Amino acid sequence: MFDLARALAAGLGEELGERAVGGGSDANFLAALDVPLLDGLGAVGSGAHARDEHIDIDATVARAALVAGLIHAFADQPAA
């Protein structure tokens, strides 16, 4: 799934990296079990939960295109 996401991002002129970070995402429960997953596909910005919280509109548009590409790719797959 990461290889697909990375290829789709490259097609959009973006570089998608992988890293492990802390935080309060539901994905942390799966990551603690060593389950590979994609997380952080929401809005791009900074200042989370602070007065200066904001999103980067241009980066968020590219992120939305990536998510749309992932959904499209999985929708084209036959059911297991």
Q: What is the pTM of this model?
A: 0.75
Looking at residue 76, what DSSP letter applies? T
Q: What is the pLDDT of residues 50-73, one digit of tens each?
A: 999 999 998 888 999 999 999 999
Q: What is the pLDDT of residues 5-33, one digit of tens each?
A: 999 999 999 998 877 666 677 788 888 88
Annotate 43-60 with b (16+ C-beta within 10 A) or e (fewer). ebeeeeeeeeeeeeeeee
* Residue 78 CB burial class (10 angstroms; 0-12, 13-18, ≥19): exposed
The DSSP H or E segment spanning 26 is none
Q: Report all structural domains of the chain as residue ranges with CATH numbers, in order of start.
A: 2-75 (1.10.150)
